[in-house]
C-alpha cells in the first residue's frame, strides 16, 4: 500500500508538469500579442476587421482561448477559418499557427496520432516558406507529442532540432523550454545525471530572464530528479526553493505540490510528524482552490501517515473523506487505494475479519483497472491477515500470488528497459555506420590495423585475466571454506550457550521437583519454561541456517510474526513499517542470524521490562543502508546502569560481528529508542 499511493501521486505530478509545459508551448504556436483578452471580446473584435493579417492573428488567438477553455470543436473550426484566410492572403506565419493550433486541439483530446500529423504538416509549411519561428515551434510540438507516446528516441531528435532553431533565432524562452523538455525525457528514462544537467541549464536561463514561474518550475524539476535518485536532502532543499518562487506569484497549485512532495520525503526518512504537517499544508491549499481530485490524493497520504503514527481513528476519517471524492468521480484506481488503506487500519487494530473485507474490495477494484502494483499489494496484505488468523493455508496461497504478480511486474520493467536499450543501440549504430561511410580508404586501413593490434593485446590480456581469475577463485574457495567453518563454530557456540545452559537449569529444577515440598509446582513450571526456551532457540538457529531464508522479505515476515505474537500477548499497541525496497535484498547467513537475534532480544527486553503500552518498529532502506528503529513509551532505564549494561552486551556484540552501528537511548520515565544501521 505504502508505495503504490505515492507512485500514483508522483505520476500525477509528472502529468501536471508536462501539461504545464505544453500549455506554455501553445504560446509559441500563436501570434505574439496579449493573452488577456477573453473569448467574447475577441469575437466582438472580429466583426469589425477586414480580411488581413490582423484578423488571422485574432482568429488564432481565439482558437487558443477555445483550446484552453476545453471547447475543442470550436477551436478546430476557428483554426480552419484562420488557415483558409492565411492562404488566401499568403500569410505563412498565420497558416503555420493555425495548423499547430489544430494539432493542439487533437493533443488535448488525447489523439496524439492526429496531433502529430498536424504538427508535421506545420513543419512542412514552415520549411516551405523558410519560416524559422514555425520550424522551431513545429519541431518542439512534435517532440512533445512523441514524449507523450513514450517514444523518447524520436522525441529527443525533434527537441534537438527545435533547440538548434531557437538558438539561431536567439530565442531565450524557446531555448529554456527545450532544456526543460530534455529534462523531462531523461527523467522518465531514469537518466538522472542528464536530466539534472538539462534542468540546471533551464534554471540558469530562467533566472537570466527573471521569469519567476519558470524558475520555480526548474527548481521543482530538479527536486524531482534528486527525489528519484534517493537524495532526499537535496530534494527537500530544491522543493523549498521552488516553494519560495511559487509564493511570490501566488501559484497555489505549484505550492501545494511542493508541500505534498516534501511531506513524502520526510516520511521516507521516518520524520512522520513533519511528513504529516507538510502534506496537510498541501491538502489545505488544494482544498481551497477546489482541486478535489488532488486534495483527495493528499487525504489518502495523510491517512497512511496516521496509520504509521498509530492514529487509527483519524486515519479512517482521512480514507473515508478521500473515498467519497473518488467514488463520486468513479476513480476506481484510487478507490482501490482507499479500501486497502482502511483494511490496513483494521489489520493494525487486530481486527482481521474487518481487514479481510476491505482488502478483498480493494483487490476487486485493482483487478478492474488491471493495476498489477495494487493487485500485488492486496495479495501481500491478505497473506498477512490470514497469518494473523493462523490460517496458514490461505496465507500460503496469497503469498504465492503476491510473488507471482511481483515477478510479472519485474519482467515487464526489464522488457521495457531492454527495448529502450535496443532502440538506443540501433540509433547509435546507424550514426556510426554513416560516419564510417564518410571516411576515406586510408583512414579505414589504419583503423583495421589498429583493430588487429588491439585484438592481439586483448587476446593476450584475456589469457592473463583467466589465469588471475583461476588463482583468485582458488583463494576465494579457501576463504569461503574458512568463513563457513567460522560460522559453524559460532552456531555451535550458540547451541552450547543457549541450550547447554537451559538443560543445566532443567536438571536443577528436576532435582527440586523430586522433593515433595511447596517448591514442587514452581520447579515444574520452570522446567516447562526452560523446555519451551530450548524449542524456540532451536527454531531460530534452524531458520537462520536454512538458505531459503536469505531474502530480506523472509526476515521481515518472521520479525512481524514475532512482534505480533509478543505484543498481542502483552496487549501492547504497535506499528510495523518496512520499505518494499528491502524485499529484494539478500543477507549472508551470519548477518541474517545476528540481525534477527538482535531484534528478538530488543523486543523481548521491551516485553519484560518496559511496561510499555505502545511501540513502533520501522525498517527503512536509505542509500544502501538498512536502518532498524524500535521505539516504546515505557518506563525507560539508565543505559549506564551496571546490571542493565550487562544485558546489552549480547546486542552490542552481535552488531559488531556484522559491522553495524548500534545505538540505544533511554532514561527513566522517557521510554526507549533502539537503532541499528548496517550496510545492505
The C-alpha angle 188, 190, 192, rounded to 5 degrees, equals 110
At 426-458, the pLDDT tens digits run 444 444 443 444 444 445 555 666 676 676 666
Of 55-59, 80-84, 250-254, 582-586, give the lowest mean pLDDT range. 582-586
At 130-141, the pLDDT tens digits run 999 999 999 999
Packing angle of the helix pair 372-388, 352-369 (nearest 10 deg): 160
Q: Is 675 helix (H, G, I), strand (E, B) or coil?
A: strand
CATH 3.30.70.870 given to domain 551-679: no
Asked whether the predicted pLDDT for residue 25 surpasses 70, the reply is: no
| Nearby residues of 452 by Cβ (< 8 Å), 6 or more positions away | none
| Alpha-carbon torsion, ordered 417, 420, 424, 427, to 10 deg | 150
Of 46-55, 226-235, 514-523, give the lowest mean pLDDT range. 514-523
At 333-351, the pLDDT tens digits run 899 999 999 999 999 999 9
By DSSP bridging, strand 614-622 and strand 625-632 are: antiparallel
At 85-130, the pLDDT tens digits run 999 999 999 999 999 999 999 988 878 899 999 999 999 999 999 9
pLDDT at 6: 35
Q: Provide the strand spans (E) within 118-231.
A: none
Could you give the CA distance from residue 5 to residue 268 in angstroms, rounded to a whole number?
Answer: 13
Average pLDDT over residues 71-76: 89
pLDDT at 495: 54
At 303-316, the pLDDT tens digits run 999 988 889 999 99
Confidence of residue 565 (pLDDT cuts 50, 70, 90): confident
Second-level CATH architecture of 330-438: Alpha Horseshoe (1.25)
Average pLDDT over residues 605-621: 91
The reply to whether the predicted model has a pTM over 0.75 is no
By DSSP bridging, strand 672-679 and strand 625-632 are: antiparallel
Could you give the CA distance from residue 69 to residue 541 in angstroms, rounded to a whole number?
Answer: 68
Residues 395 and 383 sit within 8 Å (Cβ to Cβ): yes
Tell me the C-alpha to C-alpha distance, in Å, between residue 506 and each of 282, 461, 499, 511: 61, 65, 10, 9
By DSSP bridging, strand 614-622 and strand 573-578 are: parallel
| Nearby residues of 380 by Cβ (< 8 Å), 6 or more positions away | 398, 399, 402
Residue 671, phi then psi, degrees to nearest 5: 70, -175
At 622, which helix (H) or strand (E)? strand 614-622
pLDDT at 70: 76
pLDDT at 568: 84
pLDDT at 426: 47
Of 119-128, 324-333, 381-390, 497-506, give the lowest mean pLDDT range. 497-506
Could you give the CA distance from residue 26 to residue 22 in angstroms, rounded to a whole number?
Answer: 6
pLDDT at 591: 86
CATH class, range 443-545 = mainly alpha
**What would the CATH number be for the domain defined by 31-166?**
1.25.40.10
Could you give the CA distance from residue 63 to residue 105 in angstroms, rounded to a whole number?
Answer: 9
End-to-end CA distance of the chain: 23
Same fold, 31-166 and 330-438: yes
Asked whether the predicted pLDDT for residue 26 surpasses 80, the reply is: no
Domain regions of the chain by residue span? 31-166, 330-438, 443-545, 551-679
The pLDDT mean for the chain works out to 80
pLDDT at 329: 86
Amino acid at each position: 500500500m505504502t508505495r503504490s499511493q505515492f507512485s500514483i501521486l508522483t505520476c500525477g505530478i509528472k502529468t501536471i508538469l508536462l501539461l504545464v509545459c505544453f500549455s506554455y508551448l501553445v504560446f509559441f504556436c500563436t501570434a505574439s500579442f496579449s493573452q488577456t483578452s477573453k473569448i467574447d471580446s475577441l469575437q466582438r473584435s472580429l466583426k469589425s476587421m477586414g480580411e488581413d493579417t490582423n484578423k488571422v492573428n485574432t482568429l488564432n488567438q481565439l482558437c487558443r482561448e477555445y483550446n484552453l477553455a476545453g471547447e475543442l470543436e470550436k477551436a478546430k473550426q476557428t483554426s480552419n477559418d484562420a488557415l483558409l484566410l492565411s492562404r488566401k492572403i499568403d500569410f505563412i506565419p498565420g497558416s503555420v499557427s493555425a495548423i499547430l493550433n489544430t494539432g493542439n486541439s487533437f493533443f488535448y483530446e488525447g489523439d496524439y496520432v492526429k496531433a502529430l500529423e498536424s504538427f508535421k504538416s506545420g513543419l512542412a509549411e514552415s520549411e516551405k516558406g523558410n519560416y524559422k519561428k514555425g520550424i522551431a515551434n513545429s519541431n518542439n510540438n512534435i517532440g512533445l507529442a512523441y514524449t507523450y507516446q513514450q517514444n523518447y528516441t524520436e522525441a529527443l531528435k525533434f527537441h534537438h532540432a527545435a533547440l538548434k532553431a531557437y538558438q539561431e533565432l536567439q530565442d531565450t524562452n524557446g531555448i529554456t523550454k527545450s532544456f526543460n523538455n530534455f529534462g523531462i525525457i531523461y527523467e522518465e528514462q531514469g537518466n538522472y545525471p542528464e536530466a539534472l544537467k538539462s534542468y540546471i541549464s533551464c534554471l540558469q536561463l530562467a533566472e537570466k530572464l527573471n521569469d519567476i514561474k519558470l524558475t520555480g518550475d526548474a527548481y521543482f524539476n530538479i527536486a524531482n530528479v534528486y527525489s528519484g535518485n534517493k537524495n532526499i536532502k537535496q530534494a527537500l532543499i530544491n522543493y523549498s526553493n521552488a516553494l519560495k518562487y511559487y509564493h511570490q506569484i501566488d501559484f497555489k497549485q505549484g505550492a501545494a505540490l511542493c508541500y505534498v512532495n516534501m511531506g513524502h520525503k520526510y516520511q521516507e526518512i521516518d520524520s512522520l510528524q513533519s511528513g504529516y504537517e507538510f502534506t496537510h499544508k498541501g491538502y489545505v491549499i488544494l482544498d481551497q482552490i477546489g482541486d478535489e481530485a488532488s486534495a483527495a490524493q493528499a487525504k489518502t497520504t495523510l491517512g497512511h501517515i496516521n496509520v504509521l503514527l498509530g492514529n487509527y481513528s483519524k486515519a479512517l476519517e482521512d480514507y473515508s473523506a478521500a473515498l467519497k471524492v473518488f467514488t463520486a468521480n468513479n476513480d476506481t484506481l484510487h478507490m482501490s487505494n482507499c479500501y486497502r488503506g482502511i483494511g490496513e487500519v483494521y489489520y493494525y487494530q487486530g481486527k482481521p475479519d474487518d481487514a479481510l473485507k476491505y482488502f478483498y474490495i480493494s483487490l476487486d477494484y485493482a483487478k478492474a483497472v488491471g493495476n498489477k502494483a495494487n493487485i500485488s499489494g492486496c495479495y501481500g496484505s491478505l497473506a498477512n491477515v490470514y497469518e494473523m488468523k493462523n490460517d496458514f493455508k490461505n496465507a500460503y496461497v496469497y503469498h504465492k500470488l503476491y510473488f507471482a504478480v511481483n515477478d510479472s511486474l519485474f519482467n515487464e520493467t526489464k522488457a521495457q528497459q531492454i527495448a529502450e536499450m535496443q532502440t538506443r543501440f540501433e540509433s547509435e549504430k546507424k550514426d556510426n555506420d554513416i560516419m564510417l561511410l564518410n571516411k576515406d580508404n586510408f583512414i579505414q586501413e589504419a583503423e583495421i590495423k589498429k583493430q588487429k593490434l588491439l585484438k592481439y593485446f586483448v587476446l593476450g590480456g584475456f589469457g592473463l585475466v583467466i589465469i588471475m581469475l583461476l588463482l583468485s577463485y582458488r583463494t576465494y574457495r579457501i576463504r569461503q571454506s574458512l568463513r563457513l567453518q567460522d560460522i559453524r563454530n559460532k552456531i555451535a557456540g550458540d547451541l552450547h550457550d543457549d541450550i547447554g545452559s537451559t538443560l543445566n537449569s532443567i536438571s536443577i529444577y528436576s532435582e527440586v521437583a523430586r522433593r515433595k515440598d511447596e517448591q514442587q509446582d514452581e520447579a515444574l513450571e520452570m522446567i516447562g519454561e526452560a523446555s519451551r526456551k530450548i524449542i524456540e532457540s532451536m527454531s531460530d538457529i534452524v531458520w537462520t541456517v536454512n538458505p531459503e531464508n536469505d531474502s530480506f522479505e523472509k526476515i521481515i515476515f518472521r520479525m512481524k510474526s514475532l512482534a505480533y505474537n509478543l505484543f498481542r500477548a502483552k496487549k501492547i499497541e504497535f506499528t510495523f513499517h518496512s520499505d518494499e525496497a528491502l524485499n529484494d535484498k539478500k543477507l549472508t547467513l551470519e548477518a541474517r542470524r545476528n540481525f534477527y537475534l538482535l531484534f528478538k532480544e530488543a523486543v523481548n527486553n521491551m516485553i519484560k521490562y518496559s511496561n510499555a503500552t505502545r511501540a513502533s518498529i520501522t525498517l527503512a532502506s536509505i542509500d544502501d543502508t538498512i536502518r532498524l528503529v524500535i521505539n516504546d513509551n515505557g518506563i525507560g532505564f539508565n543505559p549506564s546502569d551496571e546490571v542493565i549494561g550487562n544485558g546489552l552486551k549480547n546486542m552490542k556484540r552481535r552488531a559488531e560481528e556484522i559491522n553495524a552501528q548500534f545505538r540505544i537511548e533511554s532514561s527513566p520515565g522517557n521510554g526507549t529508542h533502539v537503532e541499528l544501521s548496517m550496510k545492505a
